[in-house]
Amino acid sequence: MDRLLERVASAERTPAAGSAAAAAAALGAALVAKAARRSRDVWPDAGGAVAQSSLLAARLRALAADLEASYAAAIDALASGDAEAIGVRLPAAAEDSLRLALVAADVAELASEAGHRCNPAHHADVSVGAGLAEAAARAGAHLVGVNLLSRTGDTRSGEAQRAVARARASVENLASER
Amino acid sequence: MTDASLVARCRQGDDEAWEELVRRFSRYVLAIARQAYRLSPSDAEDVFQDVFARTYERLGDLRNDEAVRPWIAQLTRRLCVDRIRAGSREVPDPLAVEHGADETLEQLDEALSVQEAMLAMSEPCREVLDRFFCRDESYAVIGSQLGLPSGTIASRISRCLAKLREQLEGRERGPRPS
């Protein structure tokens, strides 16, 4: 945690918003894993949720590195003023941001599933996990928009918004169960 | 077709069964030679030829038809060691090589067991697990492809994983090399 905070707060260009959001979603996945591990007595398929949260966290770890690289490449392209490079690098950064929104929405949906099944003592853990994931999905959608600049009609914006809607529905679902 | 029934058909001189046996174990044999013993591609190919030639000659020595996989693994290991000794390769620490090979072989066996257990599962389970764990698809994509609500995918995966675990636990009580 100290290392991550130190790196994000540093004057270096990366890690920045995308990586920070990926870390938030990964923490959400970790909270789901904790709730599942501690609910095995009441949730026979808890191991399946642990496996899924582990895989989603692994995807987010890899994505954090991809987001750093694509963001740095996009900034370099903008600085160079090379239209061709901008035309390639910014959509690539948008693509990684979309992946962030999609994986984060999956974490929120897994948290929602865990909320129905886990020991009620851990409902707060999965609710907070879903909230972190929803924030990450929103961040991903926001970064998709930023990286697509004024490009209209790009399907990635709509796809990212649908991911945010999935994450939001999961959070609301969990809130209604309290 | 189970390994045992495949071996039984091979013993009867069924050419198609021999082809299937080579197809079923070829990647396994090559993986042991390349990954566990770090043989060069050409040495691994020679070992591959030797393994299946000897399997053809000596299948009658196999006492337990269900144990064909560990039997082929042992045969492959012996031939890999022979190949290393016969070549000019210097092995710094033969015990370390064998220890590393043990670990790699364990991983290969595990992967093969999972693959076999997957094949024994129902098509819907196999598909949902393959899409999530192997093809890295999100719940939303899986749901849209299979015509299911995205919010139900996580629980389906958990149930299918529980079934896969049952399959694997059944296999853990399987045969030893004869």
What is the value of ipTM here, to two decimals?
0.87
Average pLDDT over residues B103-127: 85
- The maximal CA–CA distance of chain B, rounded, in angstroms, is 60
Q: Are A114 and A123 in contact (CB under 8 A)?
A: no
Q: What are the tens digits of pLDDT across the range A41-78?
A: 999 999 999 999 999 999 999 999 999 999 999 999 99
- What is the average per-residue pLDDT within A100-107? 98
Half-sphere exposure for A22 (CA within 13 Å, toward CB): 26
Contact A103 B138 (CB under 8 A): yes
For residue A107, pLDDT over 70 is answered with: yes
Q: Do B154 and A59 touch (CB under 8 A)?
A: no
Q: How remote is the C-alpha of A1 from its chain's centroid?
A: 17
Best mutation site among B131, B133, B138 for testing chain A: the one with the most A CBs within 10 Å?
A: B138
A45 contacts in chain B (CB < 8 Å): 155, 158-159, 161-162
Q: At what angle do helices A17-37 and A2-9 cross, to 10 degrees?
A: 160
Could you tell me if residue B15 is left (phi over 0), alpha (psi between -120 and 50 degrees) or otherwise beta?
alpha
Q: Where in chain B is the domain with CATH 1.10.10?
A: 120-178
Say if pTM beats, i.e. exceeds, 0.80.
Answer: no
Query: Any idea which of A86-90, B37-41, B112-116 has the lowest mean pLDDT?
Result: B112-116
Four-way CATH pick for B120-178: 2.40.160, 1.10.357, 1.20.120, 1.10.10: 1.10.10
Inter-chain CB proximity B158 and A105 less than 8 Å: no
Q: How far apart are CA A14 and CA B89, in angstroms?
A: 45
B161 touches chain A (CB under 8 A): yes
Query: Tokens representing B114?
Result: 């999972």
- Strand segments, DSSP code E, in A12-152 are none
Taking an 8 Å cut-off on Cβ atoms, the answer to whether B151 and A51 are in contact is no
Closest CA in chain B for residue A106:
B139
Contact criterion met (CB below 8 Å) for A164 and A141: yes
Q: Which of A30, A1, A12, A64 is nearest to A132 (CA)?
A: A30
**Mean pLDDT of the residues in chain B:** 87
Instruction: State the alpha helices, DSSP H only, in chain B.
Output: 3-11, 15-31, 41-58, 68-86, 94-119, 123-129, 139-146, 153-172
Residue B92 has pLDDT above 60, yes or no: no
In this prediction, residue B72 carries a pLDDT of 94
The confidence score (pLDDT) of residue B113 equals: 81
Tell me the average pLDDT across B44-56. 94
Across the range A158-171, mean pLDDT stands at 96
The pLDDT confidence band at residue B177, using thresholds 50, 70 and 90, is low
Q: Tell me what pLDDT residue B151 has.
A: 87
Distance from CA of B160 to the nearest CA of A (A): 8
Q: How many CB pairs under 8 A join A and B?
A: 57
For residue B164, the chain A residue with the least C-alpha distance is: A48
CA angle at residue A164 from A107 to B141, to 5 degrees? Answer: 65
Domain with CATH 1.10.1740.10 in chain B: 1-109
Q: What CATH number labels B1-109?
A: 1.10.1740.10
Indicate yes or no: CB of A48 within 8 angstroms of CB of B159.
Answer: yes
Q: Which residue segments constitute the domains of chain A, with CATH numbers given?
A: 15-177 (1.20.120.680)
